[in-house]
Structure formats: structure tokens, C-alpha cells
Structure 1
């Protein structure tokens, strides 16, 4: 008989995957884990609304309770829009979008792909020129405005983005480590002409070694 999914996985499966953080957690997965651990209530997801609470109740066995207004209100689905005439190409909205729904490049115009936008509005506050607004695109609210297919697609994009960011960081860390090793090798290859030069080289070695050790400790902490 197949083993049942862990509770956190089953909870995550019924969340809308907007990744809006309105629940108070950094995305749908952390919220699911908090519910499973008994650290969060099932009424903290405004995008899911009343139906979302009912779904979470069915999975967890907890009593249906009203949406907590502290986390927000159940609203129609909205999509971000960038006023391209005002956009300065800072890329802050691109970095904030949890599902890669914004395209553009540094110092070039950005635009939102409406079909990919989850309406999380995380791109709005980082914009330094206030050129992003949220436009409602449905009259329905909660799960009536957002399908399971929408949620599944958003989850896939979010997970792919997280994978890409981890890969990019690993590649950048590897480049920095290689650069530090090259600098250290170059310093070690120098034959000091006098005591002052030797002392200067030793200071350089110490600086490079300290930087490499900080990078090692940071990598170790992130892996825990």
C-alpha cells in the first residue's frame, strides 16, 4: 500500500501558490510547513479565501474559521501592470517576482506577462518610481478566480526560479573562489625583495585567506 504524502505536502497541494507572503511566511511551502507543525492557523491565506480555508480544513481536520483580516481580504484576482513610460529599468521588480512573470533587463524597459502573474503584488513596493499598479481582472474572488491549473503552473515556475537562483549562486561562489585562489597563487609566486615587501605580501595573504574562510563558513551555514 503506497505511503501517504507528508501532511505539509498535502497542505501545500491545496494552497493557491501565488507566493504572496500575505500569510506571514516566505511563500506557500513555508506556510504549509508551519500549518503542519501547528505554528500557523489555516485562515491566513487571502488569495485562497473562504474556499481555501475549507480545503485546508479538509486536509488538516481543523475547524473552518473566518479569514484573518490581519493577513488581508479575499479579493478579485489582480495582475500587475508596469507603466513603461515611467520604468527606469532598475530590475528590482524582476528580482521581487516569485514566479518570473516580469521580463526585461537592466536600464531597459520591463513588462509583466499577464498570464504568468499571480497577483502577489510583491513587485509594487520595491519600485522606486511607483510605475507599477495592480489591476483586477476578475469579478470572482479566491479560488473562484484562480484554477488548480493556474496554481500548478505558478508552483512550477516558482520552484524553477528557486532552482535557478541556487544554481546562479553556486556558480558565482565558484567563480569567486577560483578568483581568490588565483590571487593567492599570484601572491605566493612573488619573491619579496626586502623585509618591507615580505610584510606587505604577508598582509595580502592574510586578507585573501580571511576572505576565503568567510566564504567557506557562509557556505557551510547555508548548507545546514
Structure 2
């Protein structure tokens, strides 16, 4: 009788279970900067009350140690406590020079007074105002963050900030979901504005290129005009003197043709001769002397 093989032998010949190769293991690590973690704790109203143009720049300033973490009125006391816990610092009072913690307001436009200037739309950081140029505007209540930024630019003072959360202030009057949605709208707006600016620059460059292309053939066809005399004071002076000399030369030729010559050119007084000498010196400096005029009596040649 043949004894049964031990079970351990069967296990010894069992196919080994392949192990996952380490080269296929990927560890996903998401590293967030301190500024990003701070930004996550801000209410995203983009109100600029902290002294910075938006929540992200304020978060970066806190991370860099350039701003204190108690400058956000919409976040209020709870917002300060959140930031203090993240930064490992004590909870401090709100810096009221940047505003007071308050119930969240809603912008309301008096549509009978609105003139459709679009200035409030341009100021709204989260695109919560709908309207068009010269048309009545209205605020989309669900999107308004109560930032107050639409009020100052209104030329007819038709926007009022109305509290809508009763006694609830700070984060009690605002939720994380609303903050996340406001940040998304703000980021989309920044991208849209940048795209519109780039398109405007491209259109301006295209117009300039078109004008340049049209001007080049005309410039090739037209001879280059000499520089205007009035653009160069010295050239203007020389032109005036040259014109006067030309008139004097023509006058002398006319007198010579009639048998008459210039008078009182000899035996002039010392004062008159000094004036003649000064005039000749100026003509020499300007390069206007010529052999014909230099040979005439009274030209300052003392050897005559």
C-alpha cells in the first residue's frame, strides 16, 4: 500500500502567486502651498477690504508674512480662528480698520433709476450683475457676495446694500459651498477678461499692421520730402540770409545794367565799418561768403 504524499509536498509544488512589481506602483502626492491652504479658509467674497485686490493675493501676503491674518471682515472672528489654527498662532481680534463683521448684504439696483452704464458690471468680481449697455441692470441674488464694489462707480447712486442674513454674521452668514462657488466664478471671470484683453490687443495689432501695409506703397511712390526749414532754426536763419543776399545781388545787377553803382561804400565811418565787419563775420560763420561779394568795396577788407 502506497502512503499518501504529505500535503506539504503538494503545497511545495503549488504555483507561486505573482507579486506586483514595484515599477508599476504609483503614489499620488498632492502638495499644496501654504498660500493655497490659507486661501481655502477665506470666504472668497473678493471684496478687497483686506487691502488686497482679491482673496488669493491676501492669502499669498499672509503666507509671506506681509499681512496679518485678521484683516478679513467677511470671515469675521471664525475666519480668524480658522487661520490661527492653520498657522499655529493665537486667535486675535479683527482689525476693524478694514471693516466690521456684519450680516451679509445683498446689492439691490433701483431699476427705475439705472441708466445702463455697465460700470457696476465691470466692478463686480464674480459676475453677479446682468445687463447690457444702456439697458436696465439687475443683481442675481444667488451669486452676490455682498462685496460693496458695485456701489462707488454707480454715477446715479441707484445701488443699495441690503442686509439679508438677520443676526448671522461672518461665516454664520456664509457657507463653504457659497465660498467655493464664488471663487470659481471669480477665476472664470479673470480668465475671460484676460482672453478679451488678448483679443483686443490682437485686433489693435492687426489694424496697425494694415495701416502700415497701406502706407508703405505710398511712401515708395512719393519722393522723400526735404526737412522743413522751420524744423531747424539754423537752417531757417541761413535760408533768410541767403534770400536777402540773393535779392541784393539781383538789385546790384540791375543797377549795374543801368550804369549806376552802389554809393557810400568808401570812406565810411568806423562805426559803420564795424557793423559791416560783424555782418561779414556772421556770413562767414554761416558759410554764405562768396568771391563776388568779398571783392566788393566796404566788405571789411582793410587792405583796399
Q: After TM superposition, list the pairs within 5 Å mapping 1:164-179 onto structure 2.
A: 164-179=192-207
What's the counterpart of residue 105 of structure 2?
78
Gaps of 5+ in 2: 1-26, 228-304
Question: Is 1:33 the counterpart of 2:60 in the alignment?
Answer: yes
Q: Which residue of 2 aligns with 1:8?
A: 35
Tell me the alpha carbon deviations over residues 25-75 of structure 1, each in whole angstroms, 9 at most, x when there is no partner: 001000000000000111000000000001111111122100001011000
- Structure 1 residues 5 and 193, CA gap change in structure 2 (3 angstroms): closer
- Give the TM-score taking structure 2 as reference length: 0.64
| Cα distance in structure 2, aligned partners of 1:161 and 1:127 | 20
Inter-partner Cα distance in structure 2 for 1:145 and 1:193 = 72
Q: CA deviation at 1:194?
A: 3.8
- Looking at structure 2, the residues matched to 8 and 51 of structure 1 have their Cα atoms a distance apart, in angstroms, of 19
1:88 aligns with 2:115: yes
> In structure 1, what is the Cα distance between the partners aligned to 2:88 and 2:206?
53
Aligned match of 1:47 in 58, 65, 74?
74
Q: Which residue of 1 aligns with 2:139?
A: 112
Measured against aligned partners, the alpha-carbon deviations of 1:101-145 in whole angstroms (never above 9, x if no partner) come to 001111110110000000000000000110000000002000001
Deviation at 1:3, TM superposition (A): 4.3
Q: Report the equivalent of 1:138.
A: 165
- Supply the distance in 1 between the matched residues of 2:71 and 2:144 (Cα, whole angstroms): 21
CA RMSD of aligned residues (A): 1.5
Higher RCO (C-alpha under 8 Å, 6+ residues apart): 1
Q: Gaps spanning 5+ residues in structure 1: where? A: 200-224
Q: Measure, in 1, the Cα distance between the counterparts of 2:59 and 2:97.
A: 18
Aligned residue among 192, 215, 220 for 2:221: 192
User: Considering only CA atoms, is the larger Rg found in Structure 1 or Structure 2?
Assistant: 2
Q: Provide the C-alpha distance between the structure 1 equivalents of 2:31 and 2:215, rounded to a whole number of angstroms.
A: 58
Structure with the bigger percentage of strand: 1
Which residue among 180, 183, 190 is the counterpart of 2:208? 180
Displaced runs of 4+ in structure 1, greater than 6 A?
none
1:52-71 map, 5 Å:
52-71=79-98
Deviation at 1:4, TM superposition (A): 3.1
Residue 161 of structure 1 deviates from its aligned partner by 0.2
Shift of 1:195: 3.5
Q: Does 1:122 align with 2:159?
A: no
Distance 1:13 1:21 in 2: 16
How many residue pairs get matched? Answer: 199
The 3-state SS of whatever aligns with 2:164 is strand
